[in-house]
Structure 1
Amino acid sequence: MTNSMTLPAISSYDSLDQYMRAIKSFPVLSAEEEYQLATSLKKENDLEAAKKLVVSHLRLVASIARNYSGYGLPQSDLIQEGNIGLMKAVRRFDPERGVRLVSFAMHWIKAEIHEYIVRNWRLVKVATTKAQRKLFFNLRSMKSGKSASLQSEEVAHIARELNVKPEDVLEMESRMSGHEISLEGNADDETEDVFAPISYLQATQAEPSEILEEQEVEHLHTAGLSTALAKLDDRSRRIVEARWLQEDSSATLHDLAEEFGVSAERIRQIEQKAMKQMKGFLTPA
């Protein structure tokens, strides 16, 4: 797809500011426009449709890339890598899933940026526990000053916010002040709790896939859920519960296909129909 499309490249502009102004000129697509373009790409391999989907989301990439400016890498390179992730997302996007491209693409954009940082940033390991990971990826943003030493009140506040011990805060502050950190962790570490910081580059919020899942579950747990589920037939109710309402892990289409003796595509169709019915049940008349 990328070889057949001409997209705005940062190198084509005299400055990053010019590039930012240029991408702001591309229109934001409505849900209907996005669906039509994505359907055209999926069914007809329409590269012009793919281009429109990509350029309409270049601002999203630039916005995400800004969150990684603290790692000392060129902003233009971060954006360029994020654009690669965006193009991968557009190719894999399924408009029938009922999720907007902006939500789906965030994961792919971040994944490419993470990979770029791994390839270009060499650090050494400092954290081995979950508490230390949380501290490492939040301490810098929670400090009142980048270089100032932490005061006792600030230590106590950070400890309360992150649910860790004050001495853990002080230890991590000391480590971060005197050592570099390994983004990829130690491949020779045989312990189960291996530290791989690249998975936590942005600790201020969950990954997009987790956010989407939480939003879906929260929506389904609104008032009237039990009534809405009760109105479904047994098979549809089982599929919805297995796919969306299990807290530990959701069943895959193939798992349910094997359970009911039908194809995975048939399970997907039943799921979509059931979800649509439930939205109708849950929407006030």
Structure 2
Amino acid sequence: MATTPDDSSGQSTIDESASQVEILDADALADEPLPEDEAEPVDAVRPPGPSARQPAPLLPAMRPSSRPARSGDLLGYYLAEVRRYPLLDPEEEKELAIQYQDTGDPEAAQRLVTSNLRLVVKLAYQYHRQWANVLDLIQEGNVGLVEALSRYDPYRGIRFSSYAQYWIRAMILRFLMDNYRMVRLGSTRHGRKLFFQLQKERDHLIKQGIHPSTLALSKALNVPEQEVINVDQHLSAPAMSLDAPTSASGEGRPLNEVVGNDKAVNPEQDVARNELGEVFRAQLKTFETTLRDERERTIWHERLTASEPVSLTSLGKRYGVSKERIRQVEARMKRRLRDHLTRELGDEIPIYLEAPSD
């Protein structure tokens, strides 16, 4: 099992040799040739739902080692194990996903999970500055990977690896939230709120020309100033920025204007960001089919997802209603969209919905 931190702040240490592993980047890991010897079996299949969130004991990061790690380098040993499992091309992935959904075939599930263990490693490394023991993050990411498998629908046209990224990140973030000393979920009701909204509110104040002091932030978020100070000192986890357009053709409003944008990502997250965008685009397309009438469809296409939104006044005149009435309909649609995204993707990561300015 992955080692645990020395204290609840997460500032544990890993064998220094782990930092010298040449394959820290999972992309490089994926490009390396796979060894000829057969991989050790991994039983990663879990029942759907909450039980899938429990650690799968036979995943490489969690099961007892069948042989001693070289030079005490547990991380290096794990990465060597991960290389044993081949990647899947899109056709193979879809075929296995359909096979698992239709028949519950454990071998199909095993291949889907093991082929994405490298993805978990890559995402875990994006958070290693917040938690020194990468194996802990990998373990939580593996739990998210198995959860994604229990929820994945191959008929929606989204790759499993793209869909799985959401759950991998969600479980890693939940682990960080549960274990940060100053942001422990059980301590106060403000921890979760600040974890996700602090940077967003700071950016909002700056845009308004207001200095984002801890006092100003505490008033804006309606939380004690000391909690803002604590979280600001202990939390700098990378946020998911979705700036891909809502339309696959490249047109329309960027996703970050529709579902919010907490913080800019670094270059290493570009690929993950784009793949996450695919998941949200698919859900936006699904939500569009639930729009009730022409007026809602117009608000959706000409305001919420338009690259150049029309004004509320203009739409009000078109439909013979007040500007405020259009605003109310738009607000109602945003609530429905938020509920839809939470229902389909889960609530581990909150969704911020922003309407275009009038």
Q: TM-score range by the shorter chain?
A: 0.5 to 0.7
* Structure-to-structure mapping, 1:117-266, within 5 angstroms: 117-123=176-182, 132-134=198-200, 163=207, 165=209, 167-168=211-212, 179-181=229-231, 201-203=237-239, 205-206=241-242, 215=245, 217-219=247-249, 221=251, 242=289, 246=300, 247=304, 248-249=333-334
Residue 134 and residue 240 in structure 1: after superposition, are their counterparts in 2 closer, same or farther (change >3 A)?
closer
Provide the C-alpha distance between the structure 2 equivalents of 1:66 and 1:239, rounded to a whole number of angstroms: 32
Percent of residue pairs identical: 29
1:63 equivalent in structure 2: 122
2:98 match: secondary structure? helix
Q: Structure 1 residues 215, 31: CA separation in 2 closer, same or farther (over 3 Å shift)?
A: farther
Q: Which string of whole-angstrom CA distances, capped at 9 and with x for unpartnered residues, describes residues 253-285 of structure 1?
A: xx9xxxxxxxxxxxxxxxxxxxxxxxxxxxxxx
Greater helix share, structure number: 1
Report the Cα offset of residue 21 of structure 1.
2.5
Contact 1:7 1:51 in 2 (8 A): no
Query: Unaligned 5+ residue runs, structure 2?
Result: 1-44, 48-55, 184-189, 217-224, 253-284, 292-296, 305-332, 341-358
Partners of 2:75 and 2:125 in 1: CA distance:
12
| Structure 1 pair 33–250 and aligned structure 2 pair: CA distance change class (3 A) | farther
Deviations 1:219-276 (A, max 9, x none): 3848xxxxxxxxxxxxxxx989535973355989xx9xxxxxxxxxxxxxxxxxxxxx
Question: How much does 1:19 deviate?
Answer: 1.0
CA-CA distance at 1:204 after TM superposition:
5.1
CA gap 1:220/1:68 in 2 versus in 1, 3 angstroms: closer
Over 3 Å counting, the alpha-carbon distance change for 1:44 and 1:239 in structure 2 is: closer
Equivalent residue in structure 1 for 2:175, among 93, 116, 119: 116
Answer yes or no: is the 8 Å Cα contact 2:100–2:108 preserved in 1.
Answer: yes
Q: Is the 8 A contact 1:242 1:251 kept in 2?
A: no
Does 2:162 correspond to 1:103? yes
Given the two structures, how large is their TM-score scaled by the length of structure 2? Answer: 0.43
Q: How many pairs were matched up?
A: 192
Please list every run of at least 4 consecutive aligned residues from structure 1 whose deviation after the TM superposition is greater than 3 angstroms. 2-7, 124-128, 162-167, 169-172, 238-245, 248-252
Give the AA of the match of 1:133.
Q
Distance in structure 2 (CA, Å) of the matches to 1:179 and 1:239: 40
Bigger drift between 11-20 and 91-100 goes to 11-20
The residue type paired with residue 54 of structure 1 is V
Residues 41 and 204 (structure 1), Cα distance of their counterparts in 2 relative to 1, 3 Å cut: closer
Superposition RMSD in Å: 4.5
Q: TM-score, normalised by structure 1?
A: 0.53
Deviations along 1:185-219, one digit per CA (max 9) or x if unpaired, are: xxxxxxxxxxxx99x9432523xxxx7xx555243
Matched-pair contact (CA < 8 Å) for 2:61–2:135: no
